[in-house]
A and B are shown apart, each in its own frame.
Chain A
Amino acid sequence: MKYLESWLQEHIDGTLPNKEEVARILSAKSLEVEETNEEGGVTTYEVKILPHRGHDIMSHRGLARELATLFDLKRKSISFPVPEVSSKKTVRVLVEDALRCPRYSAVYVEGVKAGDSPEWIKQKLTPIGQRSISNIVDITNFVMNDMGQPMHAFDADKVKGGITVRIAKEGETMTTLDGKEVALTGTETVIADDEGVLALAGVKGGTKAIVDENTKAIIFESANFDATYTRKTSDKHGIRTDSSKRYEQGMTSECAGEAILEACALLKESCPEARFGAIVDVYPKPEKDYEVSISVKETNDILGTAYLKNEVEDTLNRLGFSYEYVRLRTRIEKRMESVKGAVYKRVSSMREDAPNAFSCSSLVSYLYNGVWQPSISIDKYVYGEPVSAQNAMWGDFVFSNTGEGSIRYETVEFMPGTKVEHGIDHVGLYLGDGKVFHISQKSNSPCVEDVETSLSFGKNVLYARMADVDEGRFFLTIPKERLDLRIKEDLAEEIGRVIGYDAIKTILPKLPRKGLPHKRLYYETKIKNILFANGFSEIYTYTFGDKGDVHIVKGLASDKEKLRTNLGAGVLQALEMNLHNTPLLGADTVKVFEFGNVFTEDNERRNFALAIDDGKKKTSFTEEVDLVLSQIKRECKLSSLDYNTIIAKPYVIELDFDALIDSLPEPSSYESLTETTTLTTYQTVSPYPFIVRDIAVWTPKGTTWEEIEALAKTIDDPRIVRMACFDTFTKTIEGRGEMTSYAFRFVIQSYEKTLTDVEANEIADKMYSLLKDKGYEIR
């Protein structure tokens, strides 16, 4: 997302450092700045938004909060007044499913004049890539980029009756603002009036109530839509917008209230004569605070640091979190006081019913709120550290099997299926001295009883420790927009990254023994070593092709939508390609092999294929390959070695490697490749064809090939890429005595273009004259 520096600055008291520093620190501690741009004194940052910060940082206010934390500056809080009600009209809003739309705020505004946006708004929107459309539409865009809350404006005169947020009906249609016809399938959330669909909720507005130059009255929408439904709709219809991108991350509903006020204030500024109806706010379940806690020790245990309490505290202050530092026991005790009047409710949720009604497990969860644990009693037991009755201490949990009702013997949500033979259906907080604090149907309110005599517990109970209750912890009330902060590990990250990960020490862990390779790797390496020694080189080819039993739903191309059933086809293709390059490779025979996975309907296995040929009609390589295979058989101590001949010429064979090694023993150590590469810099491959020239010369007896090679090298033309002698003999020639003939081949190739014959001849001529000047005779 693109951010304008001056806009960010408006949300911060104090001055941001220079743009390089902003980019450097953001990239190290928050999110990567992909581009910093300065044009005519206007600085923008392109920041890569990752899913965890999609909730809170996709706005100038959001990033400004982050920057204020990182540079220890103060945030500026900007608030807007509730507009004076000057119109009697309001919007009738009905939300059919609060899960799909937790909050819907709307305001009716009349006396609106559609027109151009004020300059200052354009100057903000243009640099971040938002096209100015009209004063009204620009306001919704401005608010989204300022606060992160997507908004929509409807032409009120085109809205018939009221607004209903409902599930689309199958077969309904709408036309989006950019003219796309959408046929609804009955799964989407839509905004509708009494006639039809106005907008695809959270994704895109429709033309039915489009705001245009004749618009006189509008309805502003500021709402929250469920992340998953928004994403499914967006996926289904292939529509991704700035709005859907925000909703699909999950958003707080809290922002909708502030945003509509900002939109009203901006509209008042742009159309002073606008008259506002009362704001309608359908928000049946206001969001509750979320608490998470962490101790200094836990922070250091995750990060590998040695932070002191005050360092953690300073960081939390910079982050602007509200928190209390308290010993866990003290907090539990306070909470025990606060729940005295609560009643028993068998099926209850801590987030919904606390502190008024509890089940046994939601009560202890509430006492420990901020310290993560599973919800269900048996799950809590499995999560905790079992302790004996003798060692049980204040704050531990007591679990029992009351013998009545539904006793669980397996965990449900936490590591599902973990068995607890004892059976558990009840839990309480152990207070020491044989006392337990709990709630049950019988007690109806939280009570203290003796474990042994309580009808809910008795003699046959289990104890488990959930946390060190004597430890001090920071209990944070998480800002509403920080949906990414839910567990202590999230807090450790906040603390760690803001202080800076550079503070983390480097420690190599001491592991108890040397590591072992897996069987495949071990025998693969062994066989590869044999193959290399026999002149075979290793290739990797593609898993995808146009033949195979296993299909890809949507591949990159129609001939790449199946998974290979064998390696042979790919290896053969590679062999043939390499045969064309033998002059460049400096070998007549090409020998290649591949290890790779192949796929059939129900099976994936590792195969191994090898191919060999010299491009000549009559040569046979079966004997050579048989020798190699028998060496493999011998060195791997195989009892048999079966292979399939894929084709006889060129000779390609394939083996089921997994079957081959099946009965072999597990490796006891890693034996590496016998030859490691010494290559330092790779020489790129020319995409252009090469030309071959052969020359034969008579030289005086005693002339060595090295001398000729050295002489040829003086040409110093990078286009001569390879030179090799392929024939030499010595013979007496009348009148000249013994002479040695050298026949050699050189390969000419350019990295820039296809060479012409003329260019090749020029190089060859240079070679001729060089040889002649030396007194050699061209044959």
Chain B
Amino acid sequence: MTGHAHPITHLTDTIVRIFTEIGFDVADGPELETEWNNFDALNVPRDHPSRDMQDTFWIKKKPGVDKLGRPMGHVLRTHTSSVQVRAMDTWSKKSEEEKKSQPLAIVVPGKVFRNEATDATHESQFYQVEGLLVGEDVTLSHLKGVLETFFSKLFGKNTEVRLRSSFFPFVEPGVEVDMQCFKCEGGGCGLCKQTGWIEIMGAGMVHPNVLKNCGINPRKYKGFAFGGGMDRLAMLKWGIDDIRLLYNGDLRVVNQF
């Protein structure tokens, strides 16, 4: 009898197959992050309401020093976006020729943490997938193109996306991404609450402050970024009713995949 892969592993595999095909490298980074990489560099300043958007696990640890010489704390990363910061830092050090010939294109599936009460749809640990493309002529059109390709391949049918105005500190413009409901194909059903659309990701054009913080000149380069919950994708795709079942090691769940 062969063993079974965890549903998030199946999803990671599918995501990686689709994105490496388009030309995105897969990146990862530590789960225990600095305050700079998780917040400040991403234009989420101290004592700002935007920090409230994510409940954070802070770590008891001797503070470090950030890029601006300030003391910085440590957190369990609240999003995979901290890997964007690391990747941009590295990319920014390349020569202009290299940057022009090879845009920074990464996809980051990874574990993240939120300090919030758990229930059937919320966990203190879960998985996100993050995407980033930085280059000379990147626009929101490309974001739409990449995400439509992704969802279409993931669900095995043509899946449109639509963008709605929203706010995330690390992007400007910031959008909420809805995908066409894969179940009713936009006609309206219980899964999409009769709207034909499913809210699935946050995205936008990388905020110039983020580029600057990572050593990239926003006059020369632009980028898009997106991020969403993999658990939510898995739950939608396979109809899993309780996120907590993914983390208690129950083979009654895993063996179905």
Interface string of A571-611 (1 = CB under 8 A from B): 10111011001001101001110100101000010000000
Task: Give the contacts of B234-250 with A (CB-CB under 8 A).
Answer: 238-242, 245-250
Q: Hey, which chain A residues are within 8 Å of B67, CB to CB? A: 416
Contact of A228 with B149 at beta-carbon distance under 8 Å, contacts A414-B212, A509-B133, A670-B17 already known: no
What's the Cα separation between A382 and B212 when bound, in Å? 12
Contact of A51 with B49 at beta-carbon distance under 8 Å, contacts A303-B140, A506-B141, A544-B125 already known: yes
Q: Hey, which chain A residues are within 8 Å of B3, CB to CB? A: 531-538, 591
Q: Hey, which chain A residues are within 8 Å of B257, CB to CB? A: 677, 679
What's the Cα separation between A507 and B224 when bound, in Å? 13
Interface string of A607-646 (1 = CB under 8 A from B): 0000000000000000000000000000000000000000
Task: Say if the beta carbon of A745 comes within 8 Å of chain B.
Answer: no
Q: Are A535 and B23 in contact (CB under 8 A)?
A: no
Q: Are B142 and A304 in contact (CB under 8 A)?
A: yes
Q: Are A490 and B251 in contact (CB under 8 A)?
A: no
Stretch at the interface among A26-34, A78-86, A283-291, A432-440: A26-34
Closest to A497 in B: B165
A510 vs chain B, min Cβ distance (A): 8
Q: Hey, which chain B residues are within 8 Å of A717, CB to CB? A: none
Q: Are B28 and A515 in contact (CB under 8 A)?
A: no
Q: Hey, which chain B residues are within 8 Å of A604, CB to CB? A: 30-32
Task: Say if the beta carbon of B146 comes within 8 Å of chain A.
Answer: yes
Closest to A685 in B: B252
What's the Cα separation between A681 and B237 when bound, in Å? 8
Task: Give the contacts of B152-181 with A (CB-CB under 8 A).
Answer: 162-167, 169, 172-176
What's the Cα separation between A577 and B247 when bound, in Å? 13
What's the Cα separation between A742 and B220 when bound, in Å? 75
A607 vs chain B, min Cβ distance (A): 13
Contact of A556 with B117 at beta-carbon distance under 8 Å, contacts A516-B25, A538-B3, A540-B249 already known: yes
A373 vs chain B, min Cβ distance (A): 9
Task: Give the contacts of A514-529 with B (CB-CB under 8 A).
Answer: 514-518, 520-521, 525, 528
A679 vs chain B, min Cβ distance (A): 5
Interface string of A27-63 (1 = CB under 8 A from B): 1111110000000000000000011111000000000
Q: Are A489 and B26 in contact (CB under 8 A)?
A: no
What's the Cα separation between A419 and B241 when bound, in Å? 55
B189 vs chain A, min Cβ distance (A): 14
Task: Say if the beta carbon of A460 comes within 8 Å of chain B.
Answer: no
- Chain B: how many interface residues by the 8 Å CB criterion? 105
Q: Are A590 and B137 in contact (CB under 8 A)?
A: no
Q: Hey, which chain A residues are within 8 Å of B148, CB to CB? A: 506, 508
Q: Are A543 and B2 in contact (CB under 8 A)?
A: no
Closest to B138 in A: A509
B153 vs chain A, min Cβ distance (A): 11
Q: Hey, which chain A residues are within 8 Å of B17, CB to CB? A: 670, 672
Q: Hey, which chain B residues are within 8 Å of A539, CB to CB? A: 6, 249-251, 254
Per a CB cutoff under 8 Å, which of A32, A537, A563 touches B254?
A: A537
Q: Are B32 and A599 in contact (CB under 8 A)?
A: yes
Task: Say if the beta carbon of B90 comes within 8 Å of chain A.
Answer: no
What's the Cα separation between A555 and B1 when bound, in Å? 40
Q: Hey, which chain B residues are within 8 Å of A575, CB to CB? A: 249
Task: Say if the beta carbon of B111 comes within 8 Å of chain A.
Answer: yes
**Of listed A52, A513, A550, A563, residue having the most chain B CB within 10 A:** A52
Contact of A52 with B167 at beta-carbon distance under 8 Å, contacts A508-B22, A670-B20 already known: yes
Per a CB cutoff under 8 Å, which of A501, A517, A573 touches B16?
A: A517
Task: Say if the beta carbon of A310 comes within 8 Å of chain B.
Answer: no
Contact of A592 with B125 at beta-carbon distance under 8 Å, contacts A673-B5, A676-B13 already known: no
Q: Hey, which chain A residues are within 8 Å of B117, CB to CB? A: 556
Q: Are A51 and B138 in contact (CB under 8 A)?
A: no
Q: Hey, which chain B residues are within 8 Å of A676, CB to CB? A: 10, 13-14
Q: A interface vs B, CB < 8 Å?
A: 27-32, 50-54, 227-228, 231-232, 235, 248-249, 301-305, 372, 382-385, 414-416, 418, 487, 489-490, 492-493, 496-497, 501-502, 504-518, 520-521, 525, 528, 531-544, 550-556, 560, 563, 570-571, 573-575, 577-578, 581, 584-585, 587, 590-592, 594, 597, 599, 604, 669-670, 672-673, 675-677, 679-685
Give 15 CB contacts A-B under 8 Å. A52-B174, A415-B217, A416-B67, A493-B174, A508-B148, A513-B102, A515-B107, A532-B3, A539-B254, A556-B124, A577-B248, A675-B5, A680-B238, A682-B240, A685-B253
